[in-house]
C-alpha cells in the first residue's frame, strides 16, 4: 500500500512540475493566463464508516485551475494592438463561424480589410447603424473600408456670435458686401458642395437704422467671377418676373436661364423670354441656343430683323425675410454659334425666303428691360431683447435653400428646373451685449474627399477611421464577453478559449458596460506569470518528487528486510 501512496505522490509532483514548466514557458506569451495544480488527499470509504484510524491512500490532482488575474500592459506603435483593462474577453470567429475567446489583442488587417488575429480569426464587434453615428445589433466581423471617403455637402452651419450693442447703424444705407462702410461686422467660413469643392460663405451683420435691437444678417458666396452673390434664406421669398426687349427675332426656341437665384428655373419660349423666379443682384440672363434669322432679299447678304418687344411685368418684392434696394442690369451679348446656308429657287412673282448663312461670330443685340424696378436683396432679421439675448420671431435655425455651387452645371437647355443645394444656419444662443464683436463658434458639417490616414480605438472600443480631410468615420465597436465561471473555459491553444458547460453562456456587451473592462489601444496585455514565484514552485515540486521517490525507496528497504527474515 505504501508503494501506491508514494506513486500517487510522484504523479502529483510530476503534474505540478508540468504545470509550472508550462507557466514558465509562456511567461512571454501575450494574453497567457497561468495555471496551478490543485490536489486532494485520498481515503478509503466503507458503508459502516472507517473510524479515525485511516492512514490515507495518497493524493490526486483535483484540477488544473487557470488564473485570470490581470497581466501587465505594455505599449506598442500599432493602434490595432488591443489590451483589456479589467474583466472580459475579445470575441473571435473563424472562417467556419466557430467562436472562441481571447485576451491576446494582437490584431491587424487582412486583404479584405477585416480585423483579424495571427490565426486569421476575425474580431467581432457591433456595426454602425443606418445613421452612421452609432453602433448596435448583433456582433459581426469588424471591417475597415480602406477606400477614399466620398465628399459630403454642407448640411448645417453653426454660428454663435456676439454683436456689439454699442455699434451705430452704417451711414450708407444701401448694403454692399464690397463696401465696409455699409455693414458693422462680418465673418466667413468654408463650406462644401456635393462634389467636395470648397466655397467661402461670408456673413455680414448690419445694424438697423430704425430699431436699436434689430440687425440684418446677409449671407454671400462668391460666384465664378469672384463677385459675391446673395444666398437667399428661409421664408416665403416671392420671385421677380422680368420681361425683356430684344432686337433679334428668334424664330426658333431658346432657353433663358437666371443664374444664382433662389430657384434657377430655365424657361423655354418661342416668344417672350421670362425668368419665373427671383433674380439676385449679380444675376445674368443668357440666351442658351441659336436663333433662326429671316432675310428679305436673297440677292444680298444684309439681314433684317423683325422687331421684338415685350413689356416688363411688375416685380414682386414681397420678401418674408426683409429687403434692401439694389439696382438691376443685363449684359447685351448675343452669340450666334452655327447656321447652314440653303438657297431656294427665286420666283420673281412671289417673295422667297433665304435661309441663314453659316456664321460663328459673336454679335451684339440690344436686350433691355421694357420697364425698370428696384430689385431687392433678402436678409435675415435678428431681434434681440433688452437683456441681449436673441428674441427674434424668426427661428434660430435659418434655412438656405437652392444654393447653386460655383462650377456646377446649373443651366438646363430644355427649360427644366435645376436641382440646387440646401443647408441651414444655426445661430443658437447668439447675443447682443455691450462688448466687442466676437465669434465663439463657427463650424459646418461638409467635407471634401479624404484618404484613409489611420485608425483610432477609444476605451469603449469604438473604432474610428481618420481621413486626410480631418474627418473621422465610426466603423464599429469592439464586442466583449464575460462568463459566470472563467475557470470553466476550455483552452483551445493560440491563447484562446471556448465556452463549456462549466463556464456557462457568454454575456456579450460593449467595453465599460456591466462588469466588462476598458479597451487600451496601442497596447498588449502581457502574461500574468510571475517568474520568481514559478521558480519557487518548481523547486517545491522537485522536492516533492524527490520525497515521494524516497518513500518508495524506504518502502522497498522495509520490504526487502521482511523478505530477508529467516
The mean per-residue pLDDT over the stretch 421-448 comes to: 89
**Which pLDDT value is given to residue 479?**
96
CATH T-level topology, domain 156-237+376-444? Tick-borne Encephalitis virus Glycoprotein; domain 1 (2.60.98)
Residue in the structure block whose three cell numbers are 445613421: 131
Q: Which residues of 226-247 are buried (b: 16+ CB within 10 A; e: fewer)?
A: eebbbbbbbbebebbbbbbbbb
Angle at 139 between CA 136 and CA 144, to 5 degrees: 85
CB-based contacts of 183-186 (< 8 A; 24+ apart in sequence): 183/218, 184/215, 184/437, 185/437
Check residues 239 and 313 and name the one with the higher pLDDT: 313
User: To the nearest whole number, what is the mean pLDDT of the chain?
Assistant: 74
Check: CB of residue 491 under 8 Å from CB of residue 66: yes
Q: What are phi and psi of 431, to 5 degrees?
A: -135, 170
pLDDT of residue 167: 92
* Nearest one of 17, 66, 20, 63 to 530, comparing CA atoms: 20
pLDDT, tens digit (0-9, with 9 covering 90-100), for 320-351: 344 444 444 444 444 443 434 333 443 444 44
| pLDDT score of 358 more than 60 | no
Report residue 325 as a C-alpha cell: 434696394
Which range has highest mean pLDDT (128-142, 261-275, 380-394, 515-529)? 515-529
Across 27-36, 367-376, 436-445, 449-458, least confident range: 367-376
- Closest by CA to 359, choosing from 326, 378, 391, 335, is 335
Q: Which comes out higher in pLDDT, residue 196 or 286? A: 196
Residue 360 has pLDDT above 60, yes or no: no
Reduce the secondary structure of 247-298 to three states and give it as a string: CCCCCCCEEEEECCCCCCEEEEECCCCEECCCCCCCCCEEECCCCCCCECCC
Residue 228, SS3 per DSSP: strand
Looking at per-residue confidence, does 88 or 421 come out higher?
Answer: 88
* Band of residue 225 on the pLDDT scale cut at 50, 70, 90: low
Residue 442 · residue 494 · CB < 8 Å? no
Contact 488, 500 (CB under 8 A): yes
Grid cell at residue 23? 507557466
Look at residue 193 in the predicted model and tell me its pLDDT.
85
Q: Which grid cell is 311?
A: 413689356
112/143 Cα distance (integer angstroms): 8
Q: Indicate the burial class of 28 (C-beta count within 10 angstroms; 0-12, 13-18, 19 or more).
A: exposed
Q: Tell me the β-bridge partners of 463.
A: 457, 476
Mean pLDDT of the 224-234 span:
57
pLDDT at 172: 78
Domain ranges for the chain, please list them: 1-67+538-564, 72-147+450-526, 156-237+376-444, 239-324+337-372
By DSSP bridging, strand 397-403 and strand 421-426 are: antiparallel
Strand order in the sheet with 254-258: 266-269, 254-258, 285-287
48: DSSP letter: T
How many other C-beta atoms can be found within 10 angstroms of the C-beta atom of residue 288? 15
Which pLDDT score is estimated for 397?
A: 58
Could you tell me the pLDDT band of residue 403, with boundaries at 50, 70 and 90?
Answer: low
| pLDDT at residue 74 is higher than 80 | yes
**C-alpha–C-alpha distance, residues 439 and 17, integer Å:** 72
Per the confidence metrics, is the pTM higher than 0.75?
no
pLDDT recorded at residue 229:
63
Q: Are strands 156-164 and 421-426 parallel, antiparallel or unpaired?
A: parallel
For residues 275 and 267, is the Cβ–Cβ distance under 8 A? Answer: yes
Amino acid at each position: 500500500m505504501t508503494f501506491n501512496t508514494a506513486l500517487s505522490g510522484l504523479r502529483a509532483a510530476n503534474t505540478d512540475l508540468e504545470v509550472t514548466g508550462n507557466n514558465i514557458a509562456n511567461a512571454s506569451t501575450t494574453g497567457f493566463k497561468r495555471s496551478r495544480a490543485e490536489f486532494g488527499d485520498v481515503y478509503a470509504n466503507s458503508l459502516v464508516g472507517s473510524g479515525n484510524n485511516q492512514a490515507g491512500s495518497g493524493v490526486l490532482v483535483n484540477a488544473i485551475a487557470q488564473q485570470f488575474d490581470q497581466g501587465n500592459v505594455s505599449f506598442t506603435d500599432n493602434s490595432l494592438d488591443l489590451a483589456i483593462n479589467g474583466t472580459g474577453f475579445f470575441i473571435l470567429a473563424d472562417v467556419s463561424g466557430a467562436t472562441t475567446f481571447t485576451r491576446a489583442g494582437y490584431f491587424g488587417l487582412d486583404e479584405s480589410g477585416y480585423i483579424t488575429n495571427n490565426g486569421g480569426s476575425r474580431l467581432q464587434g457591433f456595426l454602425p447603424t443606418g445613421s452612421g453615428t452609432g453602433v448596435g445589433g448583433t456582433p459581426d466581423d469588424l471591417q475597415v473600408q480602406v477606400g477614399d471617403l466620398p465628399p459630403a455637402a454642407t448640411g448645417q452651419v453653426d454660428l454663435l456670435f456676439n454683436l456689439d450693442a454699442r455699434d451705430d447703424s452704417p451711414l450708407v444705407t444701401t448694403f454692399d458686401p464690397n463696401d465696409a462702410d455699409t455693414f458693422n461686422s462680418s465673418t466667413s467660413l468654408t463650406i462644401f458642395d456635393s462634389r467636395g469643392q470648397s466655397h467661402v460663405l461670408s456673413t455680414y451683420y448690419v445694424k438697423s437704422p430704425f430699431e436699436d435691437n434689430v440687425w440684418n444678417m446677409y449671407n454671400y458666396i462668391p460666384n465664378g467671377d469672384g463677385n459675391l452673390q446673395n444666398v437667399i434664406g428661409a421664408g416665403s421669398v416671392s420671385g421677380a418676373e422680368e420681361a425683356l426687349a430684344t432686337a433679334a427675332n428668334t424664330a426658333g426656341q431658346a432657353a433663358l436661364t437666371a443664374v444664382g437665384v433662389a430657384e434657377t428655373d430655365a424657361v423655354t419660349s418661342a416668344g417672350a423670354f421670362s425668368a419665373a423666379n427671383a433674380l439676385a443682384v449679380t444675376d445674368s440672363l443668357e440666351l442658351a441656343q441659336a436663333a433662326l434669322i429671316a432675310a428679305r432679299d436673297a440677292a444680298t447678304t444684309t439681314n433684317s430683323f423683325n422687331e421684338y418687344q415685350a413689356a416688363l411685368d411688375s416685380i414682386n418684392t414681397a420678401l418674408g425675410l426683409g429687403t434692401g434696394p439694389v439696382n438691376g442690369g443685363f449684359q447685351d451679348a448675343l452669340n450666334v454659334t452655327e447656321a447652314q446656308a440653303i438657297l431656294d429657287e427665286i420666283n420673281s412673282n412671289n417673295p422667297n425666303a433665304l435661309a441663314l448663312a453659316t456664321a460663328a461670330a459673336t454679335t451684339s443685340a440690344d436686350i433691355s428691360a421694357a420697364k425698370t424696378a428696384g430689385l431687392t436683396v433678402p436678409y435675415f432679421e435678428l431681434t434681440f431683447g433688452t437683456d441681449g439675448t436673441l428674441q427674434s420671431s424668426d427661428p434660430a435655425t435659418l434655412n438656405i435653400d437652392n444654393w447653386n455651387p460655383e462650377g456646377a452645371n446649373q443651366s438646363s437647355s430644355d427649360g427644366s428646373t435645376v436641382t440646387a443645394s440646401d443647408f441651414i444656419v444655426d445661430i443658437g444662443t447668439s447675443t447682443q451685449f455691450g462688448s466687442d464683436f466676437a465669434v465663439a463658434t463657427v463650424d459646418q458639417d461638409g467635407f471634401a474627399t479624404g484618404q484613409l490616414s489611420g485608425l483610432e480605438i477609444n476605451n469603449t472600443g469604438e473604432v474610428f477611421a481618420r481621413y486626410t480631410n480631418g474627418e473621422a468615420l465610426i466603423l464599429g465597436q469592439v464586442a466583449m464577453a464575460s462568463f459566470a465561471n472563467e475557470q470553466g473555459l476550455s483552452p483551445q491553444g493560440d491563447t484562446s478559449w471556448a465556452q463549456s458547460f462549466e463556464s456557462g453562456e457568454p454575456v456579450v456587451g460593449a467595453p465599460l458596460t456591466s462588469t466588462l473592462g476598458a479597451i487600451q489601444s496601442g497596447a498588449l496585455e502581457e502574461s500574468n506569470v510571475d517568474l520568481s514565484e514559478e521558480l519557487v514552485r518548481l523547486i517545491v515540486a522537485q522536492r516533492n518528487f524527490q520525497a515521494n521517490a524516497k518513500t518508495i525507496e524506504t518502502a522497498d528497504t522495509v520490504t526487502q528486510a521482511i523478505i530477508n527474515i529467516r
